[in-house]
Amino acid sequence: MPVQIGQVWQLTAQPTPGETVTAALRVERELLPVMPDAHTFALTLPGAGGDLYFSPSERGLVLSVVYSETRTYRCFGLWPLGARQVRGVLLSGSVTQTNDQMTRAQRGSNYSFQALMAGLRRVGAGSCTITLR
């Protein structure tokens, strides 16, 4: 599943029961690589910013949307080969809160994406779906 400039990715988040947040973000450009087998792309949406992280070897996918310092959504999922949609684990709240949740989820792990997903299921704040439109 190659990510391409111009694609639109949609986040549907359920931070709490009965609350749904939907955002469609366009891939603008690839950012400098942080790891050899991972790619991060800048996403745009009116009134917000975001990024899409993808690790082909681990099939890990993270879509982040930042509306403000206090309103952030991060959806983590494992992307099945050939799929156009994945259900994941949502972290939401402020940037600081979601960073803290992710740090707690990684504690004691081997830092693989599978271990991260297991840890996130313990601290996650809701569910989410990432869709390639």
CA 29 to chain centre: 17
Query: What mean pLDDT do residues 44-73 have?
Result: 92
pLDDT for res 133: 92
pLDDT for res 31: 93
Name beta bridge partners: 53: 40, 62
Q: What is the pLDDT of residues 4-42, one digit of tens each?
A: 999 999 999 999 889 999 999 999 999 987 777 889 999
Q: State both tokens at 77.
A: 């999922």
pLDDT for res 112: 87
Q: What is the pLDDT of residues 100-131, one digit of tens each?
A: 998 988 888 888 888 888 899 887 668 999 99
pLDDT for res 1: 61
Three-state DSSP class for residue 120: helix
Q: Which residues 6+ apart lie within 8 Å of 65 measured at CB? A: 11, 23, 25, 43, 45, 48, 49, 50, 72, 73, 74
Query: What mean pLDDT do residues 78-95 have?
Result: 92
